[in-house]
Amino acid sequence: MTDNNQPIPSISDIHDDALAARLQAALDNKTKPLGALGRLESLALRLGLILGSEAPVLEAPQMLVCAADHGLAARGVSAYPSDVTWQMVENFLAGGAAVSVLARQHGLALTVVDCGVRRDFQARPGLVSRRIAAGTADASAGPAMTPAQCMQAIANGREVVRVLPGNALLLGEMGIGNSSAAALLLARLAGLDIGACTGSGTGLDAAGLARKREVLREVLALHASALAPLDALAAFGGFEIATLVGAVLQAAQERRVIVVDGFIASAAVLVAQALQPHVAQRCVAAHSSAEPGHALLLKHLGLEPLLNLELRLGEGSGGALAWPLLESACRILREMASFEAAGVSRKGV
């Protein structure tokens, strides 16, 4: 029985001691010194557990980039103007953005979702319209979203993923001001100081970063009663984060591998995990970004990033860069010979 009609699906515990033991035994029996492939082995084990297979295969990977504008951007929390959001959506669709290039390189199907951009787009392949409104409200003056808008965005994310093929979902986003929303969600849901959660985003200077932190403290104080995950999400935004929350919940319910990109995508996973505590079992952290809050967020989720390239782009770029590691980990399990099959002697034999 499925719960597709429920706003928040239940996510089962996929921990399986017997499968984990078989996967570990298979890895230990490959033609190599014990543990010689390091973290690639732990990644292979994780992917096997997520997909419930001793010979996992990643099929039709989907890069999902959700875009929306933020009312809070009017408070000067970003180095770039809000127009960059719609301009980058056009760049994604034209194939010129970093994530577009990387998706092509690695065979990732790219879907861009307009969740609430302040611009009307012409319909075209690769663009899905799930627009709630022309950007969220200013969170420094009131809630960024109404409860109904928040739940609609989550439902939209579930719907988008439900019709996508494959068993792997890579998360991407675009929205000027959304590192502020991510910092607010992290501070509230993880109980951390907003100063530690807040970075320069798209490139604020020292004065701009100080102003951003001051604004975010005001926002946190204004919404002091928004303590539950959905209340915090509605208070802080944005439409693209809420849509990604729904996408994560749907992917987790379907037992897809969820490849988590940077700070903002991770904030969506943080909310989803707060709603359903087994979500993170399905997640692989692609990288740790240059945003200071990201490492704190990943630690809170118990996820260890595969890469640290000092990225701070978003878009899903880190997920695309990490993707070959996931493919390699699966191939090690499926194709690498055992000592017995290869006729190779073991240590001390």
- For residue 6, what are the contacts with CB-CB under 8 A and spacing of at least 6? none
Res. 2: pLDDT tops 50: no
Could you confirm whether 218 is annotated as catalytic? no
294 & 319 share domain: yes
Res. 5: pLDDT tops 70: no
Structure confidence at residue 346 as a pLDDT band (50, 70, 90): confident
Take residue 219 and report the two structure tokens written for it: 């926002």
261 & 316 share domain: yes
Average the pLDDT over 237-247 and give the result: 98
172 & 209 share domain: yes
CA separation for the pair 177, 78 (Å, rounded): 6
213 & 234 share domain: yes
Helix axes 263-275, 178-190, angle to 10 degrees: 40
Res. 127: pLDDT tops 70: yes
Res. 348: pLDDT tops 70: no
CA separation for the pair 166, 61 (Å, rounded): 6
68 & 97 share domain: yes
pLDDT tens digits for range 252-311: 999 999 999 999 999 999 999 999 999 999 999 999 999 999 999 999 999 999 999 999
- Percent of the chain whose predicted confidence (pLDDT) is above 90: 96
Helix, strand, coil percentages, rounded to 5, for the chain: 50, 10, 40
User: Where does the chain have alpha helices with state H?
Assistant: 17-28, 39-51, 83-94, 98-106, 147-162, 178-190, 194-197, 206-222, 229-236, 239-253, 263-275, 292-301, 317-335, 339-342
pLDDT tens digits for range 219-233: 999 999 999 999 999
CATH number at residue 27: 1.10.1610.10
CA separation for the pair 193, 295 (Å, rounded): 14
Query: Structural domain tally of the chain?
Result: 2
Structure confidence at residue 3 as a pLDDT band (50, 70, 90): low
216 & 239 share domain: yes
pLDDT tens digits for range 162-215: 999 999 999 999 999 999 999 999 999 999 999 999 999 989 999 999 999 999
199 & 225 share domain: yes
Average the pLDDT over 306-330 and give the result: 97
Cα-flanking dihedrals φ and ψ of residue 116, to 5°?
Answer: 160, 55
- For residue 201, what are the contacts with CB-CB under 8 A and spacing of at least 6? 77, 78, 79, 179, 180, 212, 291, 312
Average the pLDDT over 82-91 and give the result: 98
Which residue range is the domain that position 260 belongs to? 62-328
User: Cα 327 to the chain's mean position, in Å?
Assistant: 18
28 & 77 share domain: no
266 & 185 share domain: yes
Instruction: Tell me what the pLDDT averaged over the chain comes to.
Output: 96
Give the pLDDT confidence score for residue 111 in this predicted structure.
Answer: 98
44 & 167 share domain: no
Domain annotation covers residue 348: no
46 & 158 share domain: no
In 3D space, the residue among 262, 271, 11 whose CA is nearest the CA of residue 145 turns out to be: 271
Domain annotation covers residue 28: yes
Give the pLDDT confidence score for residue 44 in this predicted structure.
Answer: 98
Question: How far from 209 is each of 38, 135, 326, CA to CA, in Å?
Answer: 38, 23, 35
- Active-site option among 41, 173, 240, 315: 315
- Strand arrangement, sheet containing 62-68: 127-129, 109-116, 62-68, 168-174, 257-260, 283-285
In 3D space, the residue among 22, 21, 14 whose CA is nearest the CA of residue 49 turns out to be: 14
137 & 279 share domain: yes
Domain annotation covers residue 29: yes
Structure confidence at residue 141 as a pLDDT band (50, 70, 90): very high
For residue 78, is it left (φ>0), alpha (ψ between -120 and 50) or beta? beta
Structure confidence at residue 1 as a pLDDT band (50, 70, 90): very low
CB 170 within 8 A of CB 259: yes
Torsion of CA 276, 237, 308, 103, to 10 degrees: 90
Give the pLDDT confidence score for residue 242 in this predicted structure.
Answer: 98
